[in-house]
Copies of this chain bind each other. A is one copy, B any other.
């Protein structure tokens, strides 16, 4: 980050204390619409809140950068109540962005992509790939899920897809208007994730940990993803929020050039010569429509939020957005699946 005014660290501490205090007033049942100040907090954007309550330029920029990093959205797009609930679900800001003891601490040896692959191996033929669901039909004795030329029947259905994708499915028995309205108001964040590999983790030799949070570069959040000191050096990072929208409209060569230029700015000329560059533009991914999670603009939680986990006939809702803890994370996805399965068993 660039040089920041002297007052910034002090105001940052106050800011975190205030957020932690306010988030603790939200119901632990993940029903933020029931909070005493729900209406007040949901009537403003996080940006309005920052302008009113944060006074030093440094602390303001910090709050904005953090919002972009955790929700992949601009602070002017996010309800302050939505932001507080996200903090609450992740225990605190420190826990969400923290490495040691925080949400960024653990990595999967070999990568998280192995999870769905290993699950699929156990499940065998019951996993159907390349079968996007176009329609869901509820009947008196069951539910049909219709894909390209195939129909799958079940007694109950658990939907575990992003809200914006659930909104695109045709339902023969219309969802309640309020539930539709919520699904149509939960857009995903915008992010491009990039791995850059080097022959050596050269930054470690210079005593740097490879971590970056920037408020004025495009490739604005970076972590060290290298496995050990001796092998290949890997930096993983993100282009998020408005930067992601702008860079998604360019091409890979342009993005690569921008990313490497930012890495040279952070880590010096050694960063100019990677041995590999791998990117995933989540804003252009049709089966997620963005990442890592859906957010809500002001007025959405308080007008429509109470339909979030309400079953619609034989349809039960899972997916990380319906979690009561760790919304936006694998933990939240798992928890929501267990809850939805329990709902079906209890019917």
Contact = CB atoms under 8 A, between A and B. Distances in A.
A303 interface: yes
A245 B306 CA distance: 12
A248 B167 CA distance: 19
A297 B190 CA distance: 16
Contacts of A187: 181, 184-185
Nearest to A242: B303
Nearest to A132: B170
Interface stretch (A37-45, A220-228, A314-322): A37-45
Interface in A208-267: 242, 245, 248-249
Contact of A164 (B47, B184, B299): B184
B43 A300 contact: no
A48 interface: yes
A177 interface: yes
B44 A45 contact: yes
30 contacts: A42-B76, A43-B51, A44-B45, A44-B76, A45-B45, A45-B48, A47-B298, A47-B299, A74-B303, A76-B298, A76-B299, A77-B297, A77-B300, A134-B134, A164-B184, A167-B167, A167-B168, A174-B286, A176-B249, A177-B284, A178-B245, A178-B248, A178-B249, A181-B187, A181-B283, A181-B290, A184-B289, A242-B303, A245-B304, A298-B298
Interface of A: 39, 42-45, 47-48, 51, 73-78, 134, 164, 167-168, 170, 174, 176-178, 180-181, 184-185, 187, 190, 242, 245, 248-249, 281, 283-284, 286, 289-290, 297-300, 302-304
Given A43-B48, A44-B48, 12 more contacts: A43-B75, A44-B47, A44-B76, A48-B48, A74-B299, A76-B302, A77-B297, A77-B303, A134-B170, A177-B248, A181-B283, A181-B290
